[in-house]
Amino acid sequence: MKALILAAGIGQRLGELTSDIPKCLLPIDSSTTLLDYSLQAIKDNGFTEVVFITGHAEDKLKKHIANNWKHKLNFKFIFNDKYSEFNNVYSAYLATDIWDDETVLFNSDIIFHPDILKNLIQYSREGAQSYLVIHDKKILNAEDMKVKVNDKDEIKQINKGLDLQTSYGEYIGILALKGKERIKLLESLEKNVNEKRLNIYYEDALDHVLSEISVYPSSTEGKIWTEVDTKEDYELAKKIAKEIGSPCTIK
């Protein structure tokens, strides 16, 4: 399996904390970063390759991988030279040629209980269905990347602007698409880039084609996680890390 990690962004809302490092390298303690928790879960679930879409402070990311992970997984880096101009739809688009049915996409600015990925991989291996990891056990807010499902449990909309009361849950930034579902997303990414819609999220490109495909929620089952966009999120990530425990390969 292949992990595709989008790690090009600047992380402006975190201010000086990410002025010279990628958001995913925010330190959790003296020996680990936010990224290390994702990489440990990726390694533990049998992935053999990790592809980063890089941008801001790429050199720091490469150095961290070389110092801590070089001999534990195989790594590839694709540089997004438009990281300061375009939204992450362009980063996802840059992965088009390497994105296959064994690829799982991760946002780089998340920390999650390892069981969340374990469950996704189990579901994915059991058949040909495609999944988005959804936190379906929380009170939603306006900033959440919300989803709606139909009566067949298929996700048919994903958008921050969806109604809070009728949305099913929040997409946490991990997806596994196969077959037609993957191809339709890749086509949508290419279409949006070619038509210069470069200020959108890759989730928006997915939203454009959800009516044509079948994608299902893989529930977090209430397990802890957070996306790190703000300093408050960062403090929550540190608390979550204490509950999860340090990645063993970084000790």
Closest alpha carbon to 199 in 105, 90, 93, 109: 90
Do the Cβ atoms of 32 and 244 come closer than 8 Å? no
Kindly report the number of other CB atoms within 10 A of residue 31's CB atom: 12
Do the Cβ atoms of 227 and 109 come closer than 8 Å? yes
pLDDT of residue 112: 98
User: Does the pLDDT of residue 91 top 90, yes or no?
Assistant: yes
pLDDT of residue 248: 55
> Rounded CA gap, 208 and 229, in Å?
25
Residue-wise pLDDT for 137-156, tens only, equals: 889 999 999 999 999 999 99
Mean pLDDT of the chain: 96
Residue-wise pLDDT for 94-138, tens only, equals: 999 999 999 999 999 999 999 999 999 999 998 889 999 999 988
Distance, CA of 240 to chain centre: 17
Q: Where are the beta strands (DSSP E) in 9-121?
A: 49-54, 74-79, 103-107, 110-112
> Rounded CA gap, 234 and 138, in Å?
19
> Rounded CA gap, 42 and 74, in Å?
12
Amino acid in position 112: F
> Rounded CA gap, 91 and 130, in Å?
21
Residue 176 main-chain phi, psi, to 5 deg: -135, 110
